[in-house]
Amino acid sequence: VLVEQARCRLCKVREFDPYETFKSLQGGLLSQKGWLSADDFCQWVVEQPHSIASASAPGVAMAVEPYANESGEVRYDGFLHMVLPKSPEHAWLKEDALLRGTAPRSSPRVAAPSLPPEVAFRLCEILDGERALCQRAGAAAQQLARELASAGPMSSGRVLRFLDAKQGLCAGMGGFLSPGSLRWLLVDELGA
């Protein structure tokens, strides 16, 4: 709920253009590669006047991992999934933000365009919320795994495979749960 509210606040900022924001996070024209890595986010975050600037690199990486592909790259579609509201009641905000991206583009710049301060702050709020959500999901997964381990191998194995289903054949192996899979199941699939 908090991350969804942060997404809505970002989309209400008139200067927020999703495509220009994505390009700005990649750096200048010479460093455009069409995707962002966890390192790119970490490098950007440490320069921001926000509490997330003091977050650990693994914490920031954990926040963007649900939106990355198998290679660890956050492509534009993953970026949109991360920053745009997901709730149908906020579809108008999502559409409004996407329409801003259809405005004519200025000529390409070699230097990295800086994000408007309000856009940068709201993006930091989203990343901080995602990081906190992943930490809570990870702690809950560890607690659940401990409780399931004491419940017996037959029932715990099935439950772990269900909760870790995003991992495919490796689901629940070794008695471990992926925080990303648990988040995917609870938030994206079940809407919790």
C-alpha–C-alpha distance, residues 141 and 145, integer Å: 6
C-alpha–C-alpha distance, residues 43 and 40, integer Å: 5
Q: Which of 148, 169, 166, 168 is nearest to 157 (CA)?
A: 148
Written as six digits, the tokens of 8 are 């809505």
Q: Specify which of 79-83, 102-106, 114-118, 134-138 reaches the highest per-range mean pLDDT.
A: 79-83
Across 55-64, 122-131, 180-189, least confident range = 180-189
The model carries a pTM of 0.71
Higher pLDDT, 192 or 55: 55
Across 38-52, 91-105, 165-179, least confident range = 165-179
What mean pLDDT comes out for the span 55-62? 88
Q: Is the pLDDT confidence value at 46 over 70?
A: yes
What mean pLDDT comes out for the span 41-56? 88
What local confidence, expressed as pLDDT, does residue 143 receive? 76
pLDDT in tens, 4-30: 999 999 999 999 999 999 999 997 666
